[in-house]
Structure formats: structure tokens, C-alpha cells
Structure 1
Amino acid sequence: MHKIFKMPFSKVYPLYIQKAERKNRTKQEVDGIILWLTGYDAAGLRQQIEAESDFEAFFSQAPALHPNSSLIKGVVCGVRVEEIDDPLMQKIRYLDKLIDELAEGRAMDKILR
């Protein structure tokens, strides 16, 4: 089991926002990406953060992974996201990749395939 699976999502969430804001993107865009990928609504996302759910619970309780998530391709931490075998790790890396694309200045309509 990977250590990140038990890491609280609430500890990483502010880092996603910081990464985006350093590149003049917004918390609303970060939230939009998370909601698109996971199927949570804003209240559901807030509830997961307040409950300090770990990544495993965050993704297992997500209403529905977006059907276009399989279109997310590219490299995160030196690994191609489309080649990751572990389903949970792949979902975490999908989210990382989307946040990276936001920070790189991609348009939201391109990020949200």
C-alpha cells in the first residue's frame, strides 16, 4: 500500500490551490477540476475536507469518476498516468495531472475533456 492512500485529502488540497494560485489560477478552477473528476458537488467536497478523509476514502466515496477520465494522458512524477496499474493511484495521478495542466495555463475546456 502506498503512503499517499492514507494521507488526508485535506492536507493536499491547499497545496493544489497554492500551485494554481502561483500561476494566477483560482481556487474555483481547482474545485471545478475536482468536482468534474469525482462527481462530488461543492457540499460533498467540503464534507470530505472537513472529515479529513484520506485519499482512499475520498475516491471510494466519490459519486462517479468522470467517464472521460480515461482520456487523461501524460506524465506525472515520471510515470505515464495511463499506464498506472493500481486504480486508486491512477485516480490520484489523474487529479495531479489536471492540476498540473491548470498551473501550466491550459484552458479549462481543454482540461475538462
Structure 2
Amino acid sequence: MSTTTPEHDARVAQLTFASVYPHYITKVEKKGRTKAELHQVIEWLTGFDDAKLQELIDEKASFKTFFEKANLNPKAHLIKGVICGYRIEDIETQLTREARYLDKLVDELARGRKMEKILRGD
């Protein structure tokens, strides 16, 4: 299994969702997708509605806290592929894998993939 380093995992855990979120919006909007679609994808993965997302942004929640509070979609394990040089399904550290799930969904949205495919058939 190719896995991440402890240093990499620690960096991911300490990142705040609030610091990454504007980049997600920019990425999807630049490709003609909407903030509402981004929120739909995030809610599918985490169970967070718009109000909960805003609360997590306001409290500058780390990815560690963000994913501890998430109710991860049971189909999340179907998210596969390479992101940031790592094969998602091979990442052993749960938090890092979950963060990469989110990155992968944002990428798929920005690349114009159909929403039903992004949401793994839901």
C-alpha cells in the first residue's frame, strides 16, 4: 500500500476547512459550476447543511474536527482515484483519506462530471 507520511497526515489534520473552502469555490466556479453544487457535494459526503458548514467555517474548524463531526456517506468508499499524488483507496490514515475524498469530489465537480456520478448514484 502506498501511504502518506505522518508529517503529511499531521498537516492535513491541522488545515482549517475555512482556509481551503474559498479555493474549492474558486475552483468550481472557474469551471462553470456553482457554490450550491459544491454545497450539495459536501453535504452528500459529510451530512453538513449550509448552516452547519457556515458554523464550521466561523469556528475555523480543523479538518480533524470537521471530519470528526461529519456523518460520512456510506458510499464514500466508492470514491477512488489519485489525488495529490496518492491513490485514495490506498491511504491508510482515515482522516487523510476522508480529506482526499472531499478533494476528489471537488475535482470531479470542477471537471464537469454529472452530479449523479459524483454522488455515486444517489
TM-score tier (shorter):
over 0.9
Q: TM-score, normalised by structure 2?
A: 0.89
Which amino acid is 2:96 matched to? Answer: M
Shift, 1:31, TM fit: 0.8
Cα distance, 1:2 vs structure 2 = 1.9
Q: After superposition, where does 1:1-113 map in structure 2 within 5 Å? A: 1-62=9-70, 64-113=71-120
**Aligned AA for 2:69?**
Q
Taking the aligned partners of 1:61 and 1:2, their CA distance within structure 2 comes to: 18
Structure 1 outlier segments of 4+, above 4 Å: none
**How many angstroms apart in 1 are the aligned matches of 2:12 and 2:79?**
20
| Structure 1 Cα separation of the partners of residues 109 and 74 of structure 2 | 20
For each residue in 1:29-71, what CA deviation from the matched residue of structure 2 results, as whole angstroms up to 9, or x when unmatched? 1111111100112211111011110100011011x10000000
Unaligned residue ranges in structure 1 (runs of 5+): none
RMSD, aligned α-carbons: 0.9
Shift of 1:4: 2.2
TM-score norm. by structure 1 comes to 0.95
Q: Percent identity?
A: 50
| Matched residue count | 112
The higher-RCO structure (CA 8 Å, 6+ apart) is 2
